[in-house]
Chains A and B, each alone.
Chain A
Amino acid sequence: MRYKLIMIIFVIVGCFPILVYALTIHVSVRDQTGVSLRGAVVSLRPLDSTQVVDHERTKMIDQIGRAFVPQVIAVATGTLIDFPNSDDMRHHVYSFSKPKRFELKLYSDQTRPSVLFDKPGLVSMGCNIHDWMRGYVYVLDEPYFSMSNESGDGWIDVAPGKYQMVARHPRQKSVGEKIITVDDRRPDYEISIYIDTKGTLPDQIEPPGNYRGYRP
């Protein structure tokens, strides 16, 4: 439900430019075996033009039930993300990812530090206290991006044109890429990501008790 809500927000946010350009494409993300993949970040990089889309510059990743909420988020470069703490315990959020290395000592809702993700790339976040906590921030330069929902579907409002479509996933072995040309006639696209199905990481480390971590 939460994801649905988030999705709706995303969609609402995403609809705003579409309203401007009036084109929405549907991307179905699957893994190499054809299974629809949720939580995948799909981005479009215009190949024939430079387009600037005005994304929301402030995001929030809350700590709820010893988990990052949302766990995976795609933001445009330069986005400021707040890290509130809704739990009644401390968290020590860190990132050793190159695009953004930071360390936040989060006391129970006392402070709301913000981190500016000013370089594109994947920022993996963990909590030094709770090892199972994983959060992924995809900092993207691309003007268009979206995330797949539970059925692997994502929608992106995009202006017509030629794009390089890139699909990313925390469990990916390699990104899914393809070149697409968006126009009125073709609103549906499929992209597959080579997922590390064998590997157990990061599933292996799970929160104790009923706390559930990220489940792609």
Chain B
Amino acid sequence: MKHRVQTRLLLVFGILVTSILLVIFSIVWQVTRDNFQKQVSDQLLYTGNSLTRQYSQNSQSIMRETQLISRDYGFRSAVSSGDENTIISALANIQQRINLDRMQVYSVDGQLLADTSADRQHAAILRNMGNRPLTANIMLGNVAYHIALSPVMAPDLIGWIVGGTRIDDVLANMHKKLLPGNPEISFFTHDNNGDVKLLGTSLELKTMQMAVDQYVHAPEKEQQTTFDGEQFLVRSYKLGELTSGQDLISFVFVSLNSAYSYLEKISRYFILTGIFALLLVVASAFLISRSFSRPIHQLANAATSIENGDYSIQMPNDRTDEFGFLAKSFSRMAIAIDHREHRIKEQGMQDTLTGLHNRLYIEDWLSNHLSTNHKHNSVSVVLVSIDRLDEVNYVLGHDVADHVITEVGSKLKAILRSKDIISRMGTDTFGLAISGMQPDEVILVVKRILELFKTPVGVDNYSIDVTGHLGIAVYPDHADTARDLLRAAEHALFIAHSFHERYSYYTPGRDSTSSEHLSLMGELRSAIDHNELEVWYQPQVATEDGEFSRVEALVRWPHPDRGMISPETFIPLAERTGEINRLTHWVLENSLMQIADWRARGLAFQVSVNLSARDLMNRQLPTVISVLLRKYGVRPDSLCIEITESAIMSNMESDISVLQVLRDTGIQIAIDDYGTGYSSLEYLARLPVTELKIDQAFIKNLSKESSDQVIVKSVIGLAQGLGLTVVSEGVEDARAARMLHDYGCDLLQGYFICKPKPAAELEIWFDSYQARTRTNPGSMVKTHGAHKKRS
């Protein structure tokens, strides 16, 4: 990312500068080149003119020299002699003083008298000319000469002298040297066929002959050409004519190379400057982009850190520009987020009611603590559950329940050290994490907690007894991870509950209890399916006359391996697993079947069946019951439904409507275990109940506890006032029976009367009971009656 921004910046700047430089360069180059070409072109023109002038000056010079010879006395004397050898010797003599390549002497009538060259080519021009001196360009053989013709006067014309210089490479080079800038010079003419003939050139070029052809077609025009890698501007100039009529042409080559080399030099400087500028700009762009991208990169890294939850970012704060400001803002933001997150986390890990931590927190804490902790540093988790909190909730209201929870929480916290953790795990459960304690020390804490439960919690005007169960698990003995540790503690708590222990340690051995429970559930299910359960019946007899017309159906499970399993064990289990509905259904069906059976045999017993809170939640319950009633042809008033207070409390309104439906069909409804819960007198009036069963806790010690007597008495009075039938459970002695009789209790149930028995045994007991009451009628009544009379 950093590199991309940087690369793009560099690219943009680079291209920009390069483009500008290229444009400038091309303009400069163009203008300079044009200028140079113009200069060279001017130079060419000037050079050409100079050459033309130089050439004509050369003519004069040749003429002068020729004339000089023609007037030489000795020469004239030699010419007048007419003797070739004399003339030639005279010429040879003179040649030392002059600059002519060739001299010829002609007689007055045009005969060649002498020639310095052996080929003795006759200068044909002489035949047609007058007697004036002149200059000309002439071909003598294959060689072109620039000649002057001068008469030899002594004093009359005695002959002609021709003096000339060769038009050749030497001449070209001579002109080249004389001209400024030393341009290359070439001399050309045509031959008789019109072909170009090279006469002389300063350029050492074999290709000149070929190359020149193209210029001939465009005479006097400037051309550009390349020879041997050198560029030239070329132009032809007509220097004159040959005596044979052909033009004598000179090509002037002005090299562009010097101009171009200068141009190259400028270009080189420009390119160097350009590269320097480019490097400068690129370096600047690099630095600028780096000054941008580095803080951006740092910010991005910081953002990634924040994303990963690390707020301890280090931002460079040495900058005072926008990036510095941004970095500072970023740092502040990170700190602010950190704080806010911390607060949110705390809120998330806090229980709103108690202000203690919540489950998340302890999990978190344990995770951190266990992972960082060494194994020898043990951590104990103690789960504390408050018993029957739901009842408090239902009966006394949420505020009270909340208060209880808060109170228990604060009390627990007071017990713990400051480094220990307490959090609310669920509605009625607290979790304690105690670190660094020996097992015996932990036991002490547990004991103190249990001690704590002995003191009632005072809320407003109530004083509520709170009990609890504790489950304990220890790291590293019981689990390695926070999760497992908590699960172990939960399991221990479950064990404590299940086995009615105040506290329980997690023991891997007892881990099977859960599986035991599971298997128990499965077996219960199978027992229901296979009718392995039994319904036992416990009679309820009238206090007044001892009449026996009612029984309470009680489910019994004679387990083939474990023997008789207590309902206190498997019913809560069934309630927890939902198996209770089937169980109730099974009991109902068997009871109704029994009623029908008894009726058929002339026994009119009313049967009470216990329903659980979960049964009441079943809206189909009235339908199910009426279906069963019809099925077995049982009158509704032969059936009584017993419901505990707490069961009704759990969902009052719907329960009332269900109960009302049942009541409307004629079914009797009893409140079971009355007095143990947080009984409200108010709802008694509202419920469609027909009877009240006083909990056996009040009855068992009735004869000894005066407080119980007061309560029972007043409850009976209250119930009778409401028109309810009152049943006392757990009557175990005659004294209690008598007292209950005196209090006006309607029915008695308990070991004093009869233990629960299977139907068959009950029938046997019934027969003997009837016989007893017949032989000793009112044995109970008497007792009661005496008592009654006494009071």
A101 to B80, CA, bound (A): 10
Among residues of A, the one whose C-beta sits closest to the C-beta of B77 is: A96
> Across the two chains, which residue of chain B brings its CB closest to A133?
B155
- Residues of A near B131 (CB, < 8 A) are 196, 198-201, 204
Q: B153 on the interface (CB 8 Å rule)? A: yes
- Does the CB pair B153–A94 fall under 8 Å? no
Instruction: Return B476 CB to nearest CB of chain A, in Å.
Output: 145
- Out of A124, A127, A128, name the residue touching B156 (CB < 8 Å): A124
**In the complex, B735 has a CB within 8 A of chain A:** no
What chain B residues lie within 8 Å of A202 (beta carbons)? 153, 155-157
Please, which residues of chain A bring their CB within 8 A of the CB of B132? 200, 204
* Shortest beta-carbon distance from B83 to chain A in Å: 12
B52-77 interface code vs A (CB 8 A; 1 in, 0 out): 00000000000000000001010011
- Does B155 contact A131, Cβ atoms closer than 8 Å? yes
Known A199-B131, A200-B130: A96·B158 in contact at CB below 8 Å: yes
The interface residues of chain A lying within 8 Å CB-to-CB of B71 are: 131
Which residues between 133 and 185 of chain B lie within 8 Å of chain A, taking CB atoms? 151, 153-158
| Residue from B77, B130, B153 within 8 A of A205 (CB atoms) | B153
For chain A residues 3-39, which have a beta carbon within 8 Å of chain B? none
Q: Residue A154 at the B interface, CB < 8 A? A: no
- B73 partner, pick from A94, A124, A198, beta carbons under 8 A: A94
Interface residue A176 (Cβ < 8 Å from any Cβ of B)? no
B151 touches A94 (CB 8 A): no
Alpha-carbon distance between A131 and B151 when the two chains are bound, in angstroms: 13
A132 nearest CB across to chain B (Å) = 8
Q: A94-B73, A96-B80 are in contact. Are A125 and B155 (CB under 8 A)?
A: yes
* Contact assessment for A170 and B73 in the assembled complex, using a CB-CB cutoff below 8 Å: no
Quote the shortest CB–CB distance from A83 to chain B (angstroms). 15
Query: Which residues does chain B contribute within 8 Å of A198, judged by CB atoms?
Result: 130-131
**Bound state CA distance, A196 and B73, in angstroms?**
26
Q: Do the beta carbons of A131 and B153 come within 8 Å of each other? A: yes
Q: Which of B130, B154, B158 has the most CB of A within 10 A?
A: B154
Q: How many residues of A contact B (CB 8 A)?
A: 21
A134 to B154, CA, bound (A): 9
Instruction: State the Cβ distance, A176 to closest chain B Cβ, in Å.
Output: 19
B76 and A96: CB pair below 8 A? yes
Tell me if A128 and B151 are in contact (CB < 8 A). Answer: no
Tell me the bound Cα distance from A96 to B155 in angstroms. Answer: 9
Q: Which of B79, B151, B153 contacts A126 (CB 8 A)?
A: B153
Report A58 CB to chain B, min CB distance, Å: 24
Is there contact, CB below 8 Å, between B73 and A134?
Answer: no
Known: A200-B132, A201-B131. A124 touches B151 (CB 8 A): no
The answer to whether A124 and B130 touch (CB under 8 A), given A96-B80, A131-B71, is no
User: Is the beta-carbon distance between B156 and A170 smaller than 8 angstroms?
Assistant: yes
A212 to chain B, nearest CB (A): 15
Give which listed residue, B79, B156, B158, contacts A134 with CB less than 8 A: B156
Which residues of the other chain, B, contact A127 by a CB distance below 8 angstroms?
155
CB contact list, A103-136 vs B, under 8 A: 124-128, 131, 133-134
Cα A206 to Cα B76 with chains together (Å) = 19
Tell me which residues across on chain A come within 8 A of B157, comparing CB atoms: 201-202
Decide if B151 touches A201 in the complex (CB within 8 Å): yes
Q: Which of A124, A133, A198 lies at the interface centre, i.e. has the most chain B CB atoms within 10 A of its CB?
A: A124
Among residues of B, the one whose C-beta sits closest to the C-beta of A96 is B80
In the complex, chain A residues whose CB is within 8 Å of the CB of B158 = 96
Q: Is the CB of A96 within 8 A of B154?
A: yes
| A175-216 to B contact mask, C-beta < 8 Å, 1/0 | 000000000000000000000101111101100000000000
CB within 8 Å for A94 and B154 given contacts A200-B131, A200-B132: yes
Contact B130 A199 (CB under 8 A): yes
How far is the CB of B3 from the nearest CB of chain A, in Å? 96
Task: Give the complex CA separation of A69 and B81 in angstroms.
Answer: 27
Interface centre among B71, B79, B153, B155 (most CB of A within 10 A): B155
Is the beta-carbon distance between B130 and A126 smaller than 8 angstroms? no
Complex Cα–Cα for A200 and B129 (A): 12
Contact residues in B for A200 (Cβ distance below 8 Å): 130-132
* Residues from chain A with Cβ under 8 Å of B73 in the complex: 94, 128
Name the B residues within 8 Å of A170 (CB-CB): 156
A134 to B156, CA, bound (A): 8
Contact at A201–B156, with CB atoms within 8 Å?
yes
1/0 per position for B538-570, CB-CB distance to A under 8 A? Answer: 000000000000000000000000000000000
Complex interface: chain B residues within 8 A of A125 (CB):
155
In Å, the complex CA distance between A75 and B472 comes to: 180
User: B76's closest neighbor in chain A, by CB?
Assistant: A96
Residues of A within 8 A of B151 (CB): 201
CA distance A201 to B71 in the complex (A): 15
Closest-CB distance, A76 to chain B (whole angstroms): 22
* A59 CB to nearest chain B CB (Å): 19
Q: Return chain B residues, CB-CB under 8 Å to A204.
A: 131-132
Shortest distance from the beta carbon of B71 to any chain A beta carbon, whole Å: 6
- Write out, one digit per residue, whether chain A residues 129-168 have a CB within 8 A of any chain B CB (1) or not (0): 0010110000000000000000000000000000000000
15 A-B pairs within 8 Å (CB atoms) are namely A94-B154, A96-B80, A97-B80, A101-B80, A124-B156, A125-B155, A126-B154, A126-B155, A131-B71, A131-B155, A133-B155, A199-B131, A200-B130, A200-B132, A201-B131
Other than the given A126-B155, A200-B130, A200-B131, 16 more pairs (CB < 8 A) read A94-B154, A96-B81, A97-B80, A124-B156, A126-B153, A133-B155, A170-B156, A198-B131, A199-B131, A200-B132, A201-B131, A201-B156, A201-B157, A202-B153, A202-B156, A205-B153
List residues of chain B with CB under 8 Å of any chain A CB. Answer: 71, 73, 76-77, 79-81, 130-132, 151, 153-158
9 nearest interchain CB pairs? A126-B155, A96-B80, A124-B156, A199-B131, A96-B154, A201-B131, A134-B155, A128-B73, A201-B157
